Amino acid sequence: MGVRVEPWALRYFGVAFASYLAALAAMAAGLTYPSAGLLAPTTLAAVHLVTVGWLTLLMLGALHQFVPVITGRRLASDRSPAATLLLVAGGLILMVAGFLALPGGPWPALPAGGELLLPLGGSAVVAGAAVALANLGRTLGRARPLSLPARYVASALGFLALTVLLGLTFALAMTWPGLLPAGMAGPLLGAGLPLHLLAGVGGWFTLTAMGVALKLLAMFTLAPEDRGKTGQGIWAVTAGGMALAWLAGLAGVFAPGSPAGVLARAGWGLTGTGVALYLVDIRRLFGQRRRRGLEVNARFGAWALGCLGLTLLACAWALLRGREPGSWALAVFLALFGWLSGLGLSQLYKIVPFLTWIERYGKRMGRERVPRVQDLVQERRARPWFQGYFGAVALAAAALAIPSPALFRAAAALMLLAAAGVGRELLASRRCPRASPGHGARDGPAGARDAVAGPRGS
Amino acid sequence: MATEEMVTLDVREDLRNGREPLRRILAAVDALAPGQGLRLLTTFEPLPLYRLLGGRGLGHEARRLGVADWEVRFFPDAPAEATAPVAQGDPASGWPAPAMHLDNRGLEPPEPMMRILEALETLAPGEVLAAVNEREPVFLFPELAARGHAVTVERRDDGVHLTIRRGADPA
């Protein structure tokens, strides 16, 4: 019984953060859309640094800690987190090199075998994801019936499998065009991309983030965690809608014009409705909280949730404008950088000090004076970085809507600066807190016994 | 309980200056009129006092006002939950009746864990602590096991009820 601090979680966060900063630097340097094409090799490399390196590793790291917390059980395997991190991070490096070696990229003249980088890297990422799926899936499977956050996570893991498998299929089809039956590779590479995005950004990232946000915000603002039948219904509509949109979308790739199109639109509609209802329910949760003051994680978690609302509006706008890919760029950007990265940054600001604190003071608690978790952070110093980050995201979103490549690069540079600032605050929370006596440091009973003699007078 | 029925004693200045306030507290308790309670202002939660004054039939209610700022109300007509029951303990486990009760509902994690571990240190080996938490304190369990304490957990509508028996003191 009970949960220990997962030592690999913080290593996942470290690799994820490095990958995130590298992607932001590439955006600031003008190597990505809108300075380069939407499917330019450099754009693809940066996108996967964000999605595989930053968000996937961030979420997998968090889930290796979070799944035991929501199920009250230890992970099925203690060794698999290390294997997953090595496979996904190693695979990502090969993938990024593979994208840069694509025709039109900066490394077209890579020595023989360069074309193998993408399928090799993709295979390693798939293998890493499979190891994580087996471990987290088994842990969840033992904890049935699943709580609401656990349902979000379980459905998200299903979409993780779809995302990486479809991604690997792309890599194989691009490397060996004859591999897939004639007439299949073309449509899949063309119309299959939205499915890869929907499964990854919508299914894997967004469902995970929705479940984790629900649990963490309820826990740290002292709001009721049980969202009742309404909460279960919202999950079912959102996850079910995504599944319908995905399956119908896949059918539509091979049989365009069939009823699949109608079903896919229905799926999108359900997903949008579910997400909107989720936001209403989270708003209610904030209203129900018993802790009035909001700490950094909850305040900026709310800003990230606001970006999820803006993402919905951007999706609606893109649907109205039709199939023009550029209009989807804004929705995907808001989802990746406002909603998911914003939530990630704000929750890391709670998770990292919390785990550091348990790891460092768990053994000493009750036996000597230990600081509080909040003594490990300096919220006043961290707040401007978060405000700056979200401000820069808004600026970058405006630059995409115009579109203005120069403005986007400037905004990306600001995002990089702000994210680095948050990263510095996270590192600071890992170092020893300022233990100024009487200020923050809390008297344990040892101190208490000295001051107010206990019954045993020891 | 109305404030008029509470006598206020502020020992924060004493504690900050390293002066021992117990004598003043006990004097204030002795001077209480029948039906009167004590409102104690202190710089930390005085867990050992709960037992000491519980023995005199006073229940307690603690509120944290700031980082090093607590208000604890001790009152005579204590709600059943705040006083240690005179029951026989649990015959099934053979554990004695709880020597201390903690209500950790409304506290943000990891405060419940800290409070439980601190309270356990004030108990003698074999004594029992009863605590009500909002949710299962998952990070507490390995720590209890490492310290040799035994625990039973029961989920009820009003919270997660923990009964913890202090183990023998480790070296």
d(CA A270, CA A278): 12
Contacts of B21 in chain A (CB under 8 A): 451-452
d(CA A25, CA A14): 17
Contacts of A5 in chain B (CB under 8 A): 139
pLDDT > 80? residue B10: yes
Contacts of B99 in chain A (CB under 8 A): none
Mean pLDDT across the stretch B144-153? Answer: 92
Please count the other Cβ atoms lying within 10 Å of the Cβ belonging to residue A405. Answer: 16
pLDDT of residue A1: 67
pLDDT of residue A432: 65
pLDDT of residue A321: 81
Query: Which residues of A, range 333-352, sit inside 8 Å of B by Cβ?
Result: none
Query: Which residues of A, range 417-446, sit inside 8 Å of B by Cβ?
Result: 438-440, 442-446
The tally of CA atoms less than 13 A away on the side-chain side of residue A90 is: 13
Contacts of A456 in chain B (CB under 8 A): 122, 124
Distances (CA, A) of A171 to A60, A118, A119, B147: 23, 6, 5, 53
Q: Is B94 helix (H, G, I), strand (E, B) or coil?
A: coil
Handedness of CA A442, A430, A349, A216 (dihedral sign): negative
Q: Cβ separation of A365 and B124 shorter than 8 Å?
A: no
Domains B3-80 and B84-165 share a fold: yes
A4 vs B119, B142, B144: nearest CB = B142
- Number of A to B CB contacts under 8 A, please give it: 113
pLDDT of residue B55: 77
pLDDT of residue B170: 57
A445 vs B20, B110, B118: nearest CB = B118
pLDDT of residue A441: 40
Q: Cβ separation of B121 and A445 shorter than 8 Å?
A: yes
pLDDT > 70? residue B48: yes
Distances (CA, A) of A336 to A280, A343, B87, B100, B109: 21, 10, 58, 50, 29
Contacts of A442 in chain B (CB under 8 A): 44, 68, 114
Q: Token digits for A432? A: 């020893």
Please count the other Cβ atoms lying within 10 Å of the Cβ belonging to residue A289. Answer: 17
Residue type, B37: G
Pairing of strands B128-133, B159-165: antiparallel
A225, A230, A231, A237: CA torsion to nearest 10 = 180
Q: Looking at the complex, does the CB of residue A385 fall below 8 Å from at least one CB of chain B?
A: no
A452 vs B46, B143, B145: nearest CB = B46
To the question of domain B84-165 being in CATH 3.30.110.40, the answer is yes
Q: Cβ separation of A72 and B136 shorter than 8 Å?
A: yes
pLDDT > 60? residue B51: yes
- CATH superfamily to which B3-80 belongs: TusA-like domain (3.30.110.40)
Domain spans in chain B, listed from the N-terminal domain onward:
3-80, 84-165
Distances (CA, A) of B67 to A70, A372, B70, B167: 29, 9, 8, 31
Q: How confident is the model over B65-124, as pLDDT tens digits?
A: 776 788 898 888 655 444 444 444 565 667 888 888 899 988 888 989 999 999 999 899
Q: How confident is the model over A187-219, as pLDDT tens digits?
A: 888 788 889 999 999 999 999 999 999 999 999
Rounded to two decimals, the ipTM of the complex is 0.81
Q: How far apart are the first and last CA of chain B?
A: 45
Tokens 């909850």 found at: A298
Contacts of A437 in chain B (CB under 8 A): none
Q: Token digits for A60? A: 């997998």
pLDDT > 60? residue B1: no
Query: Which residues of A, range 272-311, sit inside 8 Å of B by Cβ?
Result: 290-291
| Percent above pLDDT 70 for chain B | 85
Question: B66 vs B30, which has greater pLDDT?
Answer: B30
Phi-psi region of A234 (alpha: psi -120 to 50; beta: other; left: phi over 0): alpha
| Percent above pLDDT 90 for chain A | 71
pLDDT > 80? residue B59: yes
Please name the residue of chain A whose CA is at the shortest distance from the CA of residue B19.
A451
Per-residue pLDDT of chain A in tens (458 residues, 90 and over written 9)? 688 899 999 999 999 999 999 999 999 999 999 888 888 999 999 999 999 999 999 999 999 999 999 998 889 999 999 999 999 999 999 999 999 998 888 887 677 677 899 999 999 999 999 999 999 999 999 998 999 999 999 999 999 999 999 999 998 888 888 887 777 777 888 788 889 999 999 999 999 999 999 999 999 999 988 899 999 999 999 999 999 999 999 998 888 777 888 999 999 999 999 999 999 999 999 999 988 889 999 999 999 999 999 999 999 988 888 767 677 899 999 999 999 999 999 999 999 999 999 999 988 988 888 888 988 999 999 999 999 999 999 999 999 998 899 999 999 999 999 999 999 999 999 986 644 444 334 444 433 333 333 333 33
Contacts of A219 in chain B (CB under 8 A): 108-109, 135
Distances (CA, A) of A244 to A150, A235, A274: 21, 14, 13
- With b for 16 or more beta-carbon neighbours within 10 A and e for fewer, the A438-457 pattern comes to eebbbbbbbbbbebbbbbee
Please name the residue of chain A whose CA is at the shortest distance from the CA of residue B52.
A455
